[in-house]
Structure 1
Amino acid sequence: MLERMRPDVELRLPVDSAYVSVLRATTVSLAARLDFTIDDIEDLRMAVGEACAMVLPSAEEGSDLVCAFFMKNGEVTITITVPSTQTELPEEDGFAWQVLSALTTHAELASGDGALSVSMTMHSTVAA
């Protein structure tokens, strides 16, 4: 799991699929600021959507989704967390996980302390 540090950007949204587009738009904007390519940006946008598809069904109703962005030159790590009493992680052989892990450099799921999270890292192909 990502070590605890202050994120560069943190976004808090209601747990509702209607707000996933806001999260995807924010992701696109931040990746563009890091000079990611158009293809990298689109991959990251899709990965964020798939991550949300994995955690939203397990989120406590009426709670908030918190998305933390950790940025450095040519790399972004995004952690999406929702309050959840579910102790089982979403299946890693499901479609959403397969897409997420194919589109990012690294991805992991975590559950504990009343929360479920997906963390993903992507390196820009320009910086490689």
Structure 2
Amino acid sequence: MSLTDNVVAVTVPADGGWLGVLRTATAGLAARLRFAGDKIEDLRIAVDEACAMLLGIAPPGAQLHCRFEIGATELTVAISAPVNGKKKLPGDSAFAWKVLSGLTSRVDAEQADGVATIRLVTELPQQPAAA
């Protein structure tokens, strides 16, 4: 795991046994950013679902790269993996996309140069005004 300013990057093997590391990193960062408990769980589920989609198209021995970027008003989680041959992410009408759309503010994906990336964008919680 590396931390540069407002970016946290985590790379794990593209194997279901390692997804717990990404779920824990997601929950820890969301808690640090003061997300509510239910929103933390939504983010964990969204990251897990995006990873599952990528695992389905990644070749054996690949790695998942997860980049958390903390912006002024939103948290962006970009998860990417190499693509095995001509496999593709499910179409945007697939149930998995509906799940991701319901758990985050925005979701998008791209597949280019043998790499698929899913971006999950969630608005940061409003912080109370200083007294």
* 1:95 maps onto 2:95 in alignment: yes
- Residue in 2 that maps onto 1:119: 119
5+ long unaligned stretches in structure 2: none
- Residue in 2 that maps onto 1:80: 79
Pick which of 91-100 and 61-70 moved more: 91-100
- Residue in 1 that maps onto 2:20: 21
CA distance in 2 between counterparts of 1:74 and 1:47 reads 19
Q: Share of identical aligned residues, percent?
A: 39
User: 3-state SS of the aligned residue for 2:10?
Assistant: strand
- Residue in 2 that maps onto 1:3: none
What is the count of residue pairs matched by the alignment? 122
> TM-score, normalising length from structure 2?
0.85
Q: Which amino acid aligns with 2:118?
A: V
Q: Which amino acid aligns with 1:116?
A: A
Q: Which amino acid aligns with 1:81?
A: S
Q: Which amino acid aligns with 2:103?
A: L
CA distance in 2 between counterparts of 1:87 and 1:17 reads 18
- Residue in 1 that maps onto 2:49: 50
- Residue in 2 that maps onto 1:12: 11
Q: What are the equivalent positions in structure 2 for 1:32-71 lying under 5 Å apart?
A: 32-71=31-70
Q: Which has the larger radius of gyration?
A: 2
User: 3-state SS of the aligned residue for 1:92?
Assistant: coil
5+ long unaligned stretches in structure 1: 1-5
> TM-score, normalising length from structure 1?
0.87
* Compared CA separation, residues 51 and 82, structure 1 to 2 (3 A): same
Q: Where do 4+ consecutive residues of structure 1 move more than 2 Å?
A: 72-75, 85-89, 124-127
| Equivalent pair of 1:40/1:125 in contact (CA under 8 Å) | no
Higher normalized contact order (CA 8 Å, seq sep 6+, divided by chain length): 1
User: 3-state SS of the aligned residue for 1:107?
Assistant: strand
